[in-house]
Amino acid sequence: MDTLQQESDSKQPTLYSGDSVRNETPDLEKQSTSHSAETQATATELYPVTDLSRGIVGWDGQDDPENPQNFPEGKKWTLLALISAMTLISPLASSMFSPAISYMAREFLVTDRTLLSFSVSIYLLGYTFGPLLLAPLSEVYGRRIVLSGANWFFVVWQIGCALAPNIETLIICRLFAGIGGSGCLTLGAGVIADMFPPAKRGMATSLWAMGPLIGPVAGPIAGGFLGQEVGWRWTFWVLLIAGGAFSLGVEIFNKETYATVLIRWKTKKLAKETGRTDLRSAYDIDQEPTSVSEVLTQSMKRPLLLLIKSPIVYLLCLYMSFLYGLLYLFFTTIPSVFTETYGFSVGLSGLAYLGIGLGFFGGLAIMAFTNDRMVMAATTKNGGKFEPEMRLPAMIIYAFILPISFFWYGWTAEKHVHWIVPIIGMFPFGVGMMGVFMPIQTYIIDCYPKYAASANATLTATRSLVGALLPLAGPAMFEDMGLGWGNSLLGFLALAFIPIPILFIKYGKVIRLKYPIDLDAKKI
């Protein structure tokens, strides 16, 4: 499995040797683990090294400790754990305020249910705009500075939310907090691609992806008790304290991981030390010199380019957005069902989210310990040839599991069955959501490792837009159709989308190879 573990971005430049300069794209389908000589040759091509005689600056050999792929395992997992912790706090903020919304409505004298729902979902609109800016910036200036700036931006706006004198101010502050909070969700994919080979990306993605799914579930549990005991404003003070603590940890321990930026810094340092003006980064050797504004403009276009020109990214965005919308539609009914139908207090109603939460943990555990092993087994069967589509087969099973919850939860709540039954009914949705969400995230990283942040930004922006707007229709839909038929409609829609993962398993490789995108081109 050496080749699989050393695979990196297929668009990265190669080692320069002899009298000619080669810039070939390694074909993952032609890589073999049969001979150590071939493995070493592949590694040589994937990690460009310094050749000062030709003015080329790269790594100091394939084992250069400054290369993030060669960081000690402890350092890699520590960095990822810090980012993952912040990735939990940020989505926590999306729903933590929800159970306490009635207290805010009473204080601000707001009765419009749509406006109240919007004060919660506006946070996800920040997730829509933030990634489209932060991901390209990280590919120009590096992950570390952009992530730190986004984290502190998120923290500062919690103060505005906590001190808001009216609902309009609260909505604006939550929008900006969402923009800052999108940093860890967006850049985590890039950091994983920077540091981890494909053989370990499944486990790494499992740790990082807990936040976007578990955060919205844990939020109402904590927010319900906080709102009831100490007031709705304390939900934001708690987010300020927790977000500030983890942001400080990221600030202290985080390191730059984006290879292109690291070699660019190294090139400038060597040029200053040697007085040479001909030195070029090995990652930029095949590109014409451009100004910072041109590079930034080019980078800003990448997420949109991926969405428009890549059928793979478009269909995955469509499927993930649909499932994310279902998740937040689910959330719109839980507080009212368990307070009005089952007589729970506001605090206790948050505990109803444990059904989905335990499902998430169950699905996460299964995916963390099986996804990488499945890929390695499939690679071995394929003669040592790794293909990103090897991440996807398990999606079909989870896609069938996910809709069960809508029928189970919807009709048991409609018929006032004992409260434990609808809570248990949410469990399959959590398992299914994680089983679909995880392979999609890892698949995107494997397909576009160099621009994983931009690819993930496209996923994050589209699903967050749907997650912010679709739940606004939830109260009216369930009021007209009832819990039983309203949730059944969602279940039938989830069943209708099952062909999408089947399509990717069967035709994903063909589509990926038929519609390549040159994300390095000067004019995109």
DSSP string, 219-275: HHHHHHHHHHHH-TTHHHHHHHHHHHHHHHHHHHH-----HHHHHHHHHHHHHHHH-
* Residue 6 neighbours by CB under 8 Å, 6+ apart: 39, 42, 43, 46, 69, 197
- How far apart CA 217 and CA 211 sit, in angstroms, is 10
How does pLDDT run across 495-516, given as a tens digit for each residue?
A: 988 888 888 888 888 888 887 7
Q: 60 — phi, psi (to 5°)?
A: -85, 65
For residue 118, which of 470, 498, 486, 357 has the smallest C-alpha distance?
470
Domains and CATH numbers, the chain: 68-257+297-514 (1.20.1250.20)
Query: Comparing 8-12, 135-139, 402-406, 478-482, which segment has the lowest mean pLDDT?
Result: 8-12
pLDDT band at 471 (very low <50, low <70, confident <90, very high): confident
Percentage of the residues of the chain whose pLDDT score is greater than 70: 88
Helix (H) or strand (E) holding 281: strand 280-281
Q: 288 — phi, psi (to 5°)?
A: -70, 145
Query: Which pLDDT does position 287 carry in this prediction?
Result: 59
Query: Which pLDDT does position 33 carry in this prediction?
Result: 36
Calculate helix-pair angle for 113-141, 311-336, nearest 10 degrees: 140
Q: Is the pLDDT of residue 434 over 70?
A: yes
**More confidently predicted of 372 and 433:** 433
- How far apart CA 150 and CA 179 sit, in angstroms, is 8
Residue 14 DSSP class = P
Residue 71 DSSP class = S
Summarize the confidence of residues 396-425 as an average pLDDT: 92
- How far apart CA 26 and CA 478 sit, in angstroms, is 52
Percentage of the residues of the chain whose pLDDT score is greater than 90: 17
How does pLDDT run across 51-69, given as a tens digit for each residue?
A: 777 888 888 888 888 899 8
Residue 212 corresponds to which tokens in the numbers above? 């976007």
Residue environment code for 467-487, b if the CB has 16+ CB neighbours within 10 A, otherwise e = bbbbbbebbebbeeeebbebb
pLDDT band at 154 (very low <50, low <70, confident <90, very high): very high
How does pLDDT run across 360-389, given as a tens digit for each residue?
A: 888 888 887 887 788 888 888 888 888 888
pLDDT band at 232 (very low <50, low <70, confident <90, very high): confident
Query: Which pLDDT does position 22 carry in this prediction?
Result: 33
Query: Which pLDDT does position 146 carry in this prediction?
Result: 93
Query: Which pLDDT does position 116 carry in this prediction?
Result: 82
Q: Is the pLDDT of residue 457 over 60?
A: yes
How does pLDDT run across 299-358, given as a tens digit for each residue?
A: 777 888 888 888 888 888 888 888 888 887 877 778 778 888 888 877 777 788 888 888
Calculate helix-pair angle for 210-230, 427-447, nearest 10 degrees: 130
pTM of the entire predicted model: 0.75
- How far apart CA 295 and CA 434 sit, in angstroms, is 36
How does pLDDT run across 16-53, given as a tens digit for each residue?
A: 333 333 333 333 333 333 333 333 333 444 567 777 77
Residue 492 corresponds to which tokens in the numbers above? 């039938």
Q: Is the pLDDT of residue 240 over 90?
A: yes
Summarize the confidence of residues 183-187 as an average pLDDT: 88
Query: Which pLDDT does position 10 carry in this prediction?
Result: 38
CA 266 to chain centre: 29
Residue 95 corresponds to which tokens in the numbers above? 């729903």
pLDDT band at 394 (very low <50, low <70, confident <90, very high): confident
